[in-house]
Structure 1
Amino acid sequence: MKVNTRSIVALGAIAAISSLTLAGCAGSSDSGETTAPDMSGSITVWVDADRAGVLEAAAADFTEQTGVEVTLVQKEFGEIRDQFVQQVPTGEGPDIAVGAHDWLGTLVTNGVVAPVELGDKAGDFEDVAINAWAYDGQTYAVPYAIENIALIRNTDLVSEAATDYNDMIAKGQAAGTEYPFLVGLDPEAADPYHLYPFQTSFGAPVFGQNADGSYNADDLQIGNEGGVEFANWLGEQGAAGILNTNITGDLALENFTSGKSPFFLTGPWNVPAIEEAGINFSVDAIPSAGGQDAQPFAGVQGFFLSSESENTLAANEFLVNYVGSEDVQIALYEVGGRAPALTAAFDQVEASDPVVAGFGQVGANAVPMPSIPEMGSVWQYWGVTEAAIINGGDAPALWTQMAADVQAAIE
């Protein structure tokens, strides 16, 4: 676990896609499964710096195969959504952009994205990745990476994975460390994202889901009986000192890397610091606190299509058969360190990277973070209510009031 060869392998993975330059070679190919007829012109793709090298190689290959030129424009990832919404209606936006699935509600309600025609290839991706980019029965991106939290276990302190939450706490206490378990919380807003798998283990998702995996804003479930049971559990964990809103994410990481706890609920973004600290660790499933599956939120990144693209045929071809190819998906994993969304690519990675494999196995049981606009009303009340309960508030009353406030805000 202490050696990370990702940066070394990444260069080879990018080179494996294509050795051509971005300008490519206009014209068609005689070989071609990926060659689509009757394509010409050009497309523009917005991409962040981390993924630009991979896209450059894929674009060169696409140009050689189809004759369609690709212009890559580097953008700050965090600025892409708002700029896309502003520029697409003016005709100044790109044909394709990279982004996160929780932008989808904003993109759809502003009318700036078009469905991607995946056809039978939709079945080649992990279900959670396709569901994340679904809205009203349509799929709006080619996903490439799945990110979620999992339970990191210091294997020098605890040798076996926990069977459930209570077993984890018992193992943590038996280890004799300062903290049996760590999760970073905010003093004012707790952290609904990190606590969500425990909430789902009580049978209390935020919203119900439609048959296609999309969320139904008319089916608010956060305030159901399981939600109240979860609230009572939160209060118990706060009273016991296991959940502590004074232990922020940074403090939780510092304490874990100092060997002060055998368990840390976190995401892959903290793995480099854990590796650097020389901690021997395993990535485990999140233990259930309520008896049902503990399902974290999944964040899924992908490339989506502008509703104002003037070359949708070429753009869709590039998305489905190039961004969606096994080589490109693996190369994107190599530069990003997140589980590939394409199942065949994930299967390759799983065999060689136990960390990504561990997060990916937990992610297979994850649920997409809701991207519908109504989710904003949930965030408004959710975290502050959790913090109040952890800090000793009346759990049933606070949770029930929160659910009523969310329902009123949605309506």
Structure 2
Amino acid sequence: MATYRPIMMPLLAATLAASAALPAVAFEDDRLTIWMGDNKGQEGIRAVAEQFLEETGIEVEVVFPDNLTDRFQQAAGSGQGPDIVIWAHDRMGEWAQSGLLKQVAPSDSFREAFYDFTWEAALWNGETYGYPISVESLGLIYNKALVETPPESFAELMELDETLSQDGKKAILFDYSEPYYGWTLLAANGGYPFKQTDSGYDVSDIGVNNEGALQGAELLVELIESGVLPRGTDYNLMDTRFNQGEVATMISGPWAWPNLERSGIDYGVALLPKVGDERAKPMFGVMTAMINSATPNDFLAVEFLENYLLSEQGMHTFNSDGSLGAVAHIDYQAELADNPNIAATLENAEVGMPMPNIPEMGAFWAAMEPALQNIGSGRQSPQEALDAAARRMRQ
């Protein structure tokens, strides 16, 4: 097990603080401020900060501000804000492009402790701008009372629906017109928002209407027209009916688990079903720690992150309440994999792709939602809708 490796520093009188109040934005020497945009691991990160204080004398303030992304962009843009910001990796490209983040250069030995695909999420223009912490991905959540073995393919789900519908139940529901969910089918056989290259994303190469994306969209039409997937299904309908025990499977993520536990549903998580011969592919998110480019305390920030928070022992402490789910640290994830639902979350991420962290993704979301809505309603054919989405993304 990895251990803390603190550097020796003069002790300073300091106290740990953690607050949800409006954050101060001025930097202070020999003191770290962290803004964290997720309530996961609150007590754990405070405990790691206390350890850092005890061993180095450096105070760490952990703040959970509302509207973190807007506040960080505004504060960091004026040379202020926190030393460290913890947020999903998808905003990294925008912030790095604006000069708000420092590049980081962890050693090879440090990198090797984390899954390679999580480091890929922390890249922008071929450079590393953050440290991966945890992974969040869609999966196939199934009700064990209705299906013992999760279906391997959408073809199997269609067969299952014929049986379950006789009792007024459904084989699968998911929010198909929301691109985050519906895109999983289009990505299975090679659809992509922007082509990924060794140096980043080629925003001139758009793959939302290629042959693979079209195959997924045509399957979506088949699911709807056959009655397997009711037209107009949204997240609330899916979540409600699954929690009432009326649906065998749904495409969702770890945020759905607490409701299922409260509802007494005996559930499992599996890989997303196949579209033809290939797995549906989620776009996963990685909680990432990033360093403000304006901080004078970047050395301390790296020390805290590399030798405390993201050491194996630090991750144990950070995740003491289990709220992080699947984590990027390989050895610690191996321990968590005793929970098959956490293991399946990581497996789905490994099949999928990191959500592109470039500003141009805004055009993808804006174009794909009406495209999927039009495909689902029959207003446009899959080819027409996807071609229109590609044109809109190029505007």
Q: What range is the shorter-chain TM-score in?
A: 0.7 to 0.9
Q: Equivalent residue of 1:146, what SS?
A: strand
| 1:111-126 pair list within 5 angstroms | 111-120=99-108, 121-126=110-115
Indicate whether 1:41 and 2:8 are aligned. Answer: no
Contact 2:92 2:358 in 1 (8 A): yes
**Counterpart amino acid of residue 240 in structure 1:** S
1:150 to 124, 139, 145: 139
Q: Aligned pair 1:131/2:120, yes or no?
A: yes
* Cα contact 1:151–1:285 (8 A) shared by 2: yes
How far is the alpha carbon of 1:50 from its aligned partner?
4.2
Out of 203, 222, 226, the residue aligned to residue 236 of structure 1 is 222
Matched residue, 2:21:
none
Alpha-carbon offset, residue 63 of structure 1: 2.6
1:389 equivalent in structure 2: 375
- How far apart are residue 72 of structure 1 and its match? 2.7
Deviates more, 1:318-327 or 1:36-45: 36-45
Equivalent in the alignment of 1:75: 65
Could you say what secondary structure the match of 2:60 adopts?
Answer: strand
- Give the superposition deviation at 1:129: 1.7
- With the length of structure 1 as denominator, give the TM-score of the two structures: 0.84
Instruction: Find the partner of 2:389 among 394, 399, 402.
Output: 402
1:56 aligns with 2:51: no
Equivalent position to 1:169, from 152, 158, 161: 158
Identify if the C-alpha distance between structure 1 residues 71 and 279 changes in structure 2 by more than 3 Å, giving closer, same or farther.
Answer: closer
Q: Alpha carbon RMSD of aligned pairs, Å? A: 2.2
Question: CA-to-partner distance for each residue in 1:80-136, whole Å, 9 max, x for gaps?
Answer: 121111112333311111111111122112211112222211222122321111101
8 A contact 2:46–2:62 mirrored in 1: yes
Q: CA deviation at 1:41?
A: 2.0
Structure 1 residue aligned with 2:80? 92
Provide the residue aligned with 2:237 in structure 1. Answer: 251
User: What is the alpha-carbon distance in structure 1 between the residues aligned to residue 364 and residue 187 of structure 2?
Assistant: 15
Given the alignment of the two structures, is residue 195 of structure 1 paired with residue 182 of structure 2, yes or no? yes
1:387 partner letter = Q
Change (3 A) 1:73 1:158: closer
Structure 1: give runs of 5+ residues left out of the alignment. 1-16, 18-31
**Cα contact 1:47–1:73 (8 A) shared by 2:** yes
Identity of aligned residues (%): 26
**Aligned equivalents of 1:246 and 1:33: distance in 2?**
52
Equivalent position to 1:263, from 244, 249, 258: 249
Partner residue, 2:94: 106
Which whole-Å deviations, capped at 9, do the CAs of 1:228-272 have from their partners, x for residues lacking one? 233322222222233335222111111112222211111111111
After superposition, give the CA deviation of every residue in 1:260-299 in whole Å (9 maximum; x if it has no partner): 2211111111111112222222211101113223211111
| Aligned counterparts, 1:247-396, within 5 A | 247-333=233-319, 334-351=321-338, 353-392=339-378, 393-396=380-383
- CA deviation after TM superposition for structure 1 residue 322, in Å: 1.5
CA distance in 1, matches of 2:147, 2:4: 50
Query: 1:179: which partner in 2?
Result: 170
> Residues 174 and 160 from structure 1, CA distance in 2 versus in 1: closer, same or farther, beyond 3 angstroms?
same
Q: 1:160 aligns with which of 141, 149, 152?
A: 149
Q: What amino acid does structure 2 have at the position aligned with 1:115?
A: Q
TM-score, length-normalised on structure 2?
A: 0.87
User: Any idea what SS the aligned residue of 2:351 has?
Assistant: coil
Q: Distance in 1 between matches of 2:362 and 2:185?
A: 21
- In 1: Cα distance, 2:257 partner to 2:205 partner: 36
Report the AA paired with residue 36 of structure 1: I
Runs of 4+ aligned structure 1 residues displaced above 4 Å come to 37-40
DSSP 3-state at the match of 1:114? coil
Q: How many residues align?
A: 370
SS in 2 for 1:111: coil
The structural deviation recorded for 1:332 is: 3.6
8 Å CA contact retained: 1:322, 1:328: yes
CA apart distance, 1:162: 1.4
| Structure 2 SS opposite 1:209 | strand
Unaligned runs of 5+ in 2: 11-28
